[in-house]
Amino acid sequence: MLTLKYIQENRDEVIQRLKIKRFDATAIVDAIVRLDEQRKSLQVMADAKLAEANAISKQVGALMQSGRKDEAESMKQQTAALKDAIKELQAAQNQTEVELQQQLVLLPNTPHVSVPEGNGADDNEVVSEGGLIPQLQDALPHWDLAKKYDIIDFELGVKLTGAGFPVYKGKGARLQRALISFFLDEAFKAGYLEVQPPLMVNEDSGFGTGQLPDKEGQMYHATLDNLYLIPTAEVPVTNIYRDVILKESDFPIKNCAYSACFRREAGSYGKDVRGLNRLHQFDKVEIVQIAHPDSSYQVLDGMVAHVQGLVEKLELPWRILRLCGGDMSFSSALTFDFEVYSAAQGRWLEVSSVSNFETFQANRLKCRFKETEGKGTRLAHTLNGSALALPRIVAALLENNQTPQGIRIPAVLVPYCGFDLIN
Q: Region 27-55: what's the mean pLDDT? A: 95
Tell whether 232 is in a known binding site. yes
The per-residue pLDDT for range 148-178, each reduced to its tens digit, is 999 999 999 999 999 999 999 999 999 999 9
> For the range 223-227, what are the long-range contacts, defined as Cβ-Cβ under 8 Å and sequence gap of 24 or more?
226/202, 227/200, 227/201, 227/202
Same domain? For 91 and 171 the reply is no
Please tell me whether the peptide bond between 388 and the residue prior to it is cis, using omega within 30 degrees of 0: yes
Is 110 domain-assigned?
Answer: no
Same domain? For 350 and 401 the reply is yes
Same domain? For 82 and 215 the reply is no
Tell whether 296 is in a known binding site. no
Tell whether 312 is in a known binding site. no
Tell whether 351 is in a known binding site. yes
- Domain of 64, CATH number, reads 1.10.287
Query: What pLDDT is attached to residue 75?
Result: 74
**What mean pLDDT is reported for the chain?**
94
Indicate the number of domains in the chain. Answer: 2
Q: Is 69's pLDDT higher than 80?
A: no
Confidence grade of residue 268 (pLDDT, cut at 50, 70, 90): low
Same domain? For 198 and 282 the reply is yes
Is 114 domain-assigned?
Answer: no
Domain that holds residue 375: 121-422
Of residues 318, 316, 294, the one with CA closest to residue 304: 318
Last residue of a domain, one of 60, 76, 104: 104
Helices (H), 66-153: 69-104, 142-148
Same domain? For 267 and 300 the reply is yes
Q: Lay out the sheet containing 402-403: strands in order across.
A: 402-403, 406-408, 421-422
Is 112 domain-assigned?
Answer: no
Is 377 domain-assigned?
Answer: yes
Q: Is 269's pLDDT higher than 60?
A: no
Beta bridge partners of 378: 369
Is 390 domain-assigned?
Answer: yes
User: First and final CA of the chain: distance in angstroms?
Assistant: 51
Same domain? For 126 and 87 the reply is no
Count of CB atoms within 10 A of residue 41's CB? 14
Of residues 353, 333, 349, 196, the one with CA closest to residue 259: 196
Separation CA 282–CA 395 (nearest Å): 13
Last residue of a domain, one of 104, 134, 158: 104
Same domain? For 99 and 146 the reply is no
Tell whether 384 is in a known binding site. yes
- Domain of 327, CATH number, reads 3.30.930.10
Confidence grade of residue 217 (pLDDT, cut at 50, 70, 90): confident
Query: What pLDDT is attached to residue 267?
Result: 56
Same domain? For 243 and 345 the reply is yes
Task: Report the predicted TM-score, pTM, of the whole model to 2 decimal places.
Answer: 0.93
Same domain? For 317 and 415 the reply is yes
The per-residue pLDDT for range 372-381, each reduced to its tens digit, is 887 789 999 9
